[in-house]
A and B are shown apart, each in its own frame.
Chain A
């Protein structure tokens, strides 16, 4: 079967909405339910975070969700079981994102095979060095048909963006600012200039803008310069407060996608 991320980008090139949430948050078994509701509500990609004790690239919201999930007993093997369950009911592409250490303890090769078998379509491992990926894992990922998205940031040189684009598949993850996750406010002129620069690069892969996308306005603005965008912290902050996940997730996704 064709990789769902690849199929999605063939069909759709505008306003792609990718939602990130932490596995096992707010409840250990909510991972499955949230994926189902996201599909019904109209998200395009589901990104599930593998909880880690030391998430250095994340701001307070995602850090706290990691801690809640780990305290509840969330683990990587359990997440793979949950992905299997999700895959029985959900057709959207699933991307697993996490820090390298839990994946390394599971065994990177084993994880690649098991993630694919569970029904995942892509991986994001922000602290995996690109040369190590190229040397050790690129071949097995291609063989099983999993996409790998690497990050670029406003301080990444054009030469390096080209290299990262050539090693990525599915999409390139364009971090919107030199920041950890969960920044608020609107984009400044430097960020807009960076988005324009990226759009002009004509990368091999489509790119999704992430970090700092938190409402209709920032989502719409990011989508003016890129095929789509990723929302994480704002979604998790909503989950944290929600008394009715079904209703609140629908409201959240609808409010992002509404046309004015």
Chain B
């Protein structure tokens, strides 16, 4: 199990829990208890019942015939876009709210960038009758107004993060500050495979339902659980973590992460962390991080608000360093074109995050009997404004 998290919370050289002492009791309590909590039969039953009846799982594995014909391989789409709330994010928030309940916490905080994780958190808080505060960069609140209102309709309080560049990393800072100031009754639902141990592992476990289903569905479909390729987009990396999870130790499966190159990796406006990042510490873990020589975090850019995070989860940093996974840089333009292409070929408008994974198809040469799974992490409804502004369709 060379790619799994160690007992100390590390993936190779990355991970750990780099937190100020004020956060130690909360993070330590979670570390001590999360595995016991999630392995109890009652937790597993609640989790899987909700995934089935509330989220709508299992999500289909769809053979995209026209896309397959275009690339000369069998391309399957794992339809996470069909999850309730429109993306894979809800798999994690269902899991974490059940953990919060088991820990006896009755208040929930979360950070959000594009608003997808915020909506998924507000949704499960409404479902469970828990108080919900979502921190969101002021700049993102202006860019993602419908999601702000969705959260409010669901009863969450959306608090603007006014520090720094007022985007996702600042919202994460504010959520951490809130947790420092409210240490006893509050659980922090982190939305990606980032943060101090045990968050990256816990979030990956909740998202691993994606690859678990892919294996079962491929077995039915082609008589073999293992595809040749699994492709997913990576911002913080939660959907990729879920899509890779049960294939990581199976080295015959090529894992590909699509990162946002923004306007190009050398343009100064990019979020391609594996190309531009160096090992560093942010938000509680050691990972690859976009930063200046002096260790100041650089604000990333991508047309997709869900991918503009300056780091990647420590698990992905390890997969990159060990070359177990390949990471490709996809520009805004390539992603937008791939999003339109999928819409026209298969009748599915993908989220712009997801469109980055689709654009990776152009950068790989497939054999004709290759089986490829793309994690279709989210639907494009929330991105209509961006599609319209881009306009080339």
List chain A positions with a Cβ less than 8 A from chain B.
52-57, 59-60, 63, 67, 70, 75-77, 99-106, 126-129, 132, 150-153, 155-157, 160, 164, 175, 178-180
- 20 residue pairs from A and B, CB less than 8 Å apart: A52-B295, A54-B169, A57-B22, A57-B177, A57-B180, A99-B281, A102-B294, A102-B296, A104-B280, A105-B291, A126-B21, A127-B20, A128-B18, A129-B16, A129-B17, A129-B19, A155-B22, A156-B25, A157-B25, A180-B177
**CA separation between A157 and B278, bound complex, in Å?**
35
**CA separation between A52 and B279, bound complex, in Å?**
16
What are the residues of chain B within 8 A of A99 when measuring CB–CB?
281
**CA separation between A101 and B298, bound complex, in Å?**
13
Tell me how many residue pairs across A and B have CB atoms closer than 8 Å.
106
What are the residues of chain B within 8 A of A76 when measuring CB–CB?
294-295
Report yes or no: A175 in contact with B295, Cβ–Cβ below 8 A: no
Interface centre among B19, B22, B282, B293 (most CB of A within 10 A): B22
What are the residues of chain A within 8 A of B163 when measuring CB–CB?
60, 63, 67
**CA separation between A73 and B19, bound complex, in Å?**
26
- Using CB atoms, name the residue of chain B closest to A99: B281
Which 8 pairs, one residue from A and one from B, show the smallest C-beta to C-beta distance?
A102-B295, A105-B295, A151-B21, A126-B20, A53-B296, A57-B20, A155-B25, A101-B295
- Using CB atoms, name the residue of chain A closest to B178: A180
What are the residues of chain B within 8 A of A151 when measuring CB–CB?
20-22
Report the minimum CB–CB distance from B266 to chain A (whole Å). Answer: 21
Given known pairs A178-B180, A178-B181, the reply for A150 and B20 (CB within 8 Å) is no
What are the residues of chain A within 8 A of B16 when measuring CB–CB?
129, 132
**CA separation between A22 and B79, bound complex, in Å?**
50
* Residues of B9-25 whose CB lies within 8 A of A: 16-22, 24-25
B176 at the interface (CB under 8 A from A): yes
B311-325 interface code vs A (CB 8 A; 1 in, 0 out): 000000000000000
Report yes or no: A100 in contact with B18, Cβ–Cβ below 8 A: yes
By size class, the interface of chain B is 35 or more
List chain B positions with a Cβ less than 8 A from chain A.
16-22, 24-25, 163-164, 169-170, 173, 176-177, 180-184, 278-284, 289, 291, 293-297
Report the minimum CB–CB distance from B329 to chain A (whole Å). Answer: 23
What are the residues of chain B within 8 A of A155 when measuring CB–CB?
22, 24-25, 183-184
Report the minimum CB–CB distance from A157 to chain B (whole Å). Answer: 8
Report the minimum CB–CB distance from A111 to chain B (whole Å). Answer: 11
Interface centre among B173, B291, B295 (most CB of A within 10 A): B295
Report yes or no: A101 in contact with B22, Cβ–Cβ below 8 A: no
What are the residues of chain B within 8 A of A59 when measuring CB–CB?
177
Report the minimum CB–CB distance from B126 to chain A (whole Å). Answer: 28
**CA separation between A21 and B249, bound complex, in Å?**
49
Given known pairs A178-B22, A178-B181, the reply for A52 and B164 (CB within 8 Å) is no
- Using CB atoms, name the residue of chain A closest to B284: A127
Report yes or no: B297 in contact with A54, Cβ–Cβ below 8 A: yes
**CA separation between A51 and B324, bound complex, in Å?**
36
What are the residues of chain A within 8 A of B170 when measuring CB–CB?
54
Report yes or no: A179 in contact with B18, Cβ–Cβ below 8 A: no
**CA separation between A126 and B184, bound complex, in Å?**
21
What are the residues of chain B within 8 A of A63 when measuring CB–CB?
163
**CA separation between A232 and B280, bound complex, in Å?**
26
Interface centre among A59, A155, A157 (most CB of B within 10 A): A155
Report yes or no: B173 in contact with A54, Cβ–Cβ below 8 A: yes
Report yes or no: A56 in contact with B18, Cβ–Cβ below 8 A: no
- Using CB atoms, name the residue of chain B closest to A77: B294
What are the residues of chain B within 8 A of A53 when measuring CB–CB?
164, 296-297
**CA separation between A245 and B24, bound complex, in Å?**
38
Report the minimum CB–CB distance from A228 to chain B (whole Å). Answer: 19
Report the minimum CB–CB distance from A76 to chain B (whole Å). Answer: 6
Given known pairs A53-B297, A129-B18, A156-B21, the reply for A67 and B164 (CB within 8 Å) is yes
What are the residues of chain A within 8 A of B278 when measuring CB–CB?
105
What are the residues of chain B within 8 A of A103 when measuring CB–CB?
295
Report the minimum CB–CB distance from A226 to chain B (whole Å). Answer: 17
What are the residues of chain A within 8 A of B25 when measuring CB–CB?
155-157
Report yes or no: A52 in contact with B18, Cβ–Cβ below 8 A: no
Report the minimum CB–CB distance from A188 to chain B (whole Å). Answer: 14
Kindly list 13 other residue pairs between chains A and B, CB separation below 8 angstroms, not including A101-B280, A151-B21, A178-B182: A56-B173, A57-B180, A63-B163, A67-B163, A77-B294, A106-B294, A150-B21, A157-B25, A178-B181, A178-B183, A179-B180, A180-B22, A180-B177
**CA separation between A127 and B182, bound complex, in Å?**
19
Report yes or no: B281 in contact with A104, Cβ–Cβ below 8 A: yes
**CA separation between A76 and B294, bound complex, in Å?**
7
Report the minimum CB–CB distance from A230 to chain B (whole Å). Answer: 15
- Using CB atoms, name the residue of chain B closest to A73: B294
What are the residues of chain B within 8 A of A157 when measuring CB–CB?
25
Report the minimum CB–CB distance from B172 to chain A (whole Å). Answer: 8
Report yes or no: B24 in contact with A156, Cβ–Cβ below 8 A: yes
**CA separation between A259 and B284, bound complex, in Å?**
43
**CA separation between A77 and B294, bound complex, in Å?**
8
**CA separation between A127 and B19, bound complex, in Å?**
5
- Using CB atoms, name the residue of chain B closest to A102: B295
Q: Which of A67, A101, A153 contacts B282 (CB 8 A)?
A: A101
Report yes or no: B177 in contact with A152, Cβ–Cβ below 8 A: no
Report the minimum CB–CB distance from A200 to chain B (whole Å). Answer: 20
Report the minimum CB–CB distance from B96 to chain A (whole Å). Answer: 20
